[in-house]
Structure 1
Amino acid sequence: MKRMRLTLGMALLSASAAIAQKPTIEFNARGILALSDGDMAASAVVDGKLMKEVGVKDALSVYPLPLKLGQEIGSAPLPNSAIGWSRSAAVMSDGRYAYVIETRGQTTDSVKTVKNVATDFPAGSTMYIVDISNMAKPSTRKVTVGKNPLAVDMLGSNMLITSEEAAKELRMFEIGAGGLPTRNVPIALNLQNARATDVTWHPEGEFIAITVEETKEIWLYKAKRNPQGKIATFEAFGTPAKLTGKPGPGSFTPDGSLFIVSDLKDGAAGELVAIQFNTTAADPKTAEHKVVAQTPVAAGVESFAISPDGALIVTANKANSAQPWEGSVGKAGVSLLSLAKDGKATKVADYEIEGIAPESIIFDKSGDNVAVSVFEYFDYGRRDGGVEFFKVNKGGTPSLTKQMAKISAPKGCHTVKLIP
């Protein structure tokens, strides 16, 4: 009998070893940058109760990869805000500098509730320039960039920022030595009772897409250059594409042939909308831009990412995870979709995660792994956030496998960016 017990025990041990994972993080990048908004709980969007922890402030975290136990993690107390579409940070292509816009300011510890998180926080006006060449010890400087900056995007040394500042809704900065702006070009978009809530460079650098949330429009603008060959302004190119719900963040496919944008439906299941921009029209006034595909996705898809080869999309599904705990709270998740050349996307599978309000998701450089931010967890006591990881299984029927290890992050983790 003793021998039988021993044999059974060894069999169980062998079986568990066969299905075990290494508690390591696979992600092809030099590092990951994360932003955490310490000013509020995720459910404050619903009930206005901030549930702040005394002493917990906004933070920037830098995680060098590959991570090792006991490794020093870079961090800085950097004001930032989860209000918006997680477009509040950009990283230079050489990975030396990161740029963070302060969409809204921080509140004091005495502020416990607000009526509306989108409007009742102090106004922001600052961009922080973060030197991350030494990821263990990031250092910061700051410049003023306009009232309530909403989105930032970079291509090479050219940076674009949208804000709520009248007649200067768009600014272009040319970044020079030391990561500092050398040119500041304010551009009026002539918006009436509306905001440019997102801006995205076309990969070729001659066009940009701008989202106007209140009018549910996606505009294409073309760069106009001065005699020295530098961008002097942007002018509308064609009529805008129209959405039916609430436009969120957008992204061009790697080859620039399509623009994909999230269309939220006020709490209901949303869509990913594929737009085909006409960039070759001889007369910009006659250029027509078409919605070529609409793909249903989960509720609360505030962020998605397109794989480097343009074949896959992953979405971060907030769903009902950010509801007040006194009510009925749902599970958040991640979805995997395949993307065809004509813009039609097909859902492959959904994957649950344990955390609350995943608001940002990225592929690594190879497209073999995915990282997703988690605002906080269903934990009583200290309410930290995190970054979770999935492995991408490619082939005829792609899939995701959740990695065993994750990264702990300060409460309110809402944005993750790849450091190349």
Structure 2
Amino acid sequence: MKPTPIVIALLGATVLPAFAQNRDAAAPMDFQGRYIVSISDADMLASAYVNGQLGPREGTDALSVINLDGDPRDWAAVEVPASNSVAGPPAAVELSPDGRWAFVIETFTPRPEGDAPHAFADLRVGNTLTVIDLADPAAPVVAQTIEIPMRPDAVRMNAAGTILAVSFNPANGAGGETPLALFRFDAGTLSAITTPVIPDWPLDSGRLIDIDWHPTEDVVAMIDGNNNTVRFARITADLAVEPFGNVVDIERAPYRVEFTPDGNHVVINALYWGPDIAGTWIEAPRGTVMTVRMNAEGEGAEARHTYVSRVITGVSPEGLAVSPDGRWVATTNLERSYLPYDDPRVTYFSSITLARLDQATGQLSEVGTFNYDGILPEAAVFDNSGNFLAVANYDHFDDRIAGGSIDFWRIQADPLDLSNVQLVKTQESVPVTRGAHSMVIAR
């Protein structure tokens, strides 16, 4: 005898798994960490890089904090004003190692007041460093604002949380005898500025575009974005710079530098921009990400640092992230997403390149480059597990969507073919002020 339709329906209900009956179910996203901090430049559309027109302002420059507790679908950003600019490397915000303090540099000042059309040329070179207290991440408070040399490029803090480094762009900026400033930091207060000379630094041509601190020692890696080199130095107790080892030639237009978690290598992205590229960067070829081994055992000139490995990325890989377990490297690639919509060269996509990293050898192997619908993604951070990635999305192609966003991605292997690894954009996305461009995570 055949069962009646009612019996069939009841049998079907008994074999459905619980999650399939729950309409509120979601794919797991165990993004681990305390909170994410990003900054947004509200003064310009991404297309201002090409046509010089800032477009309508959307709010004011802001620092955003996203608490990572609870259901990811409920995450939201709280914001506090903090002057900053996208016109520089995505290294304009830093956190103290304990996550208590955020530091924001101002590369260019906010646009003039008023509703009249404004151009990029209306922006003035900035010279402000803001310290923000995150004792309560849900209510960030500006604790200190000081003047620093003009046109800062990058801000980085040592592993002990006691020294803050700021680098400067010499183009109509700081000039002088050094592109570096150091501050002691204690109990929320910055000391007077120290401007140490970097021995043999090419003042006439160099640009200290980014700097990173070793994960356990007061050793720094410094990249010269103009001369395509990386060099290493120790910062002494009296805040002097003592170079050690050889200067390493690297690839064209390096932009960010990150030590691996074990401190044995640095990872560097290269944009391949230049005066011989149409539009300097608009028609750039695909970029690269590379590793350099630091010989920490060598002393002085005896230390020999070596170029190790590279992989090809998407076009203009401005953002760089290394997972805290040392397994992965990611670059966020602008492609040509920032061009005006009427420019036939525009790409209505950006991308992320994911590579495997062998910390022991420094070898990189490409997983893939993954396109998505977003504009000018300049920064990314891995979560504590290394299984997820947060990406700063400057703006949206749909102008009905206000602001930018912090989007969340999953690294996923096929359970039946573990060699098939994919980077997948999840549904989780947190709105922030338009212009998100630099980002860090409190672990």
- Both proteins in one fold, TM over 0.5: yes
The structure-2 alpha-carbon separation of the partners of 1:3 and 1:384, relative to structure 1 and needing over 3 Å to count, comes to farther
Q: Does 1:353 align with 2:372?
A: yes
The CA distance in 2 between the partners of 1:361 and 1:73, in whole Å, is 16
TM-score (norm: length of structure 1): 0.88
The structure-2 alpha-carbon separation of the partners of 1:237 and 1:269, relative to structure 1 and needing over 3 Å to count, comes to same
Deviation at 1:353, TM superposition (A): 2.1
SS in 2 for 1:186: coil
Say which is worse superposed, 186-195 or 147-156, in terms of deviation: 186-195
Trace 1:16-95 onto structure 2 (pairs within 5 A). Answer: 17=20, 22=26, 26-53=30-57, 56-66=59-69, 73-95=77-99
For residue 150 of structure 1, what is the amino acid of its counterpart? D
Deviation at 1:268, TM superposition (A): 0.9
The CA distance in 1 between the partners of 2:329 and 2:75, in whole Å, is 32
2:157 alignment counterpart: 154
Deviation at 1:71, TM superposition (A): 7.3
1:42-94 deviation per Cα after TM superposition (whole angstroms, max 9, x unaligned): 111122121123x6221111111225677774211211111111101111121
TM-score (norm: length of structure 2): 0.83
The CA distance in 1 between the partners of 2:286 and 2:147, in whole Å, is 38
Q: Structure 1 unaligned runs (5+)?
A: 225-229
1:322 alignment counterpart: 338
Deviation at 1:359, TM superposition (A): 0.6
SS in 1 for 2:50: helix
1:134 alignment counterpart: 136
> Which of 216, 219, 222 does residue 231 from structure 2 map onto?
219
Root-mean-square deviation (CA, aligned residues, Å) is: 2.8
The CA distance in 1 between the partners of 2:109 and 2:5, in whole Å, is 68
The CA distance in 2 between the partners of 1:183 and 1:125, in whole Å, is 15
* Preserved contact between residue 29 and residue 364 of structure 1 (Cα < 8 Å): yes
* Preserved contact between residue 314 and residue 369 of structure 2 (Cα < 8 Å): no
* Preserved contact between residue 295 and residue 344 of structure 1 (Cα < 8 Å): no
2:279 alignment counterpart: none
Deviation at 1:257, TM superposition (A): 1.1
SS in 2 for 1:285: helix
1:343 alignment counterpart: 362
1:124 alignment counterpart: 126
The CA distance in 2 between the partners of 1:112 and 1:416, in whole Å, is 29
Deviation at 1:181, TM superposition (A): 1.4
The CA distance in 2 between the partners of 1:382 and 1:139, in whole Å, is 28
Q: How many pairs does the alignment contain? A: 403
User: Percent identical across equivalent pairs?
Assistant: 25
Deviation at 1:375, TM superposition (A): 0.2
* Preserved contact between residue 395 and residue 435 of structure 2 (Cα < 8 Å): yes
The CA distance in 2 between the partners of 1:271 and 1:77, in whole Å, is 35
* Preserved contact between residue 24 and residue 405 of structure 1 (Cα < 8 Å): no
Q: Structure 2 unaligned runs (5+)?
A: 274-283
The structure-2 alpha-carbon separation of the partners of 1:252 and 1:120, relative to structure 1 and needing over 3 Å to count, comes to farther
2:241 alignment counterpart: 234
1:298-344 deviation per Cα after TM superposition (whole angstroms, max 9, x unaligned): 11111121111211112212112111111243211222211123222
The CA distance in 2 between the partners of 1:103 and 1:218, in whole Å, is 23
SS in 2 for 1:386: strand
The CA distance in 1 between the partners of 2:264 and 2:28, in whole Å, is 36
The structure-2 alpha-carbon separation of the partners of 1:335 and 1:195, relative to structure 1 and needing over 3 Å to count, comes to closer
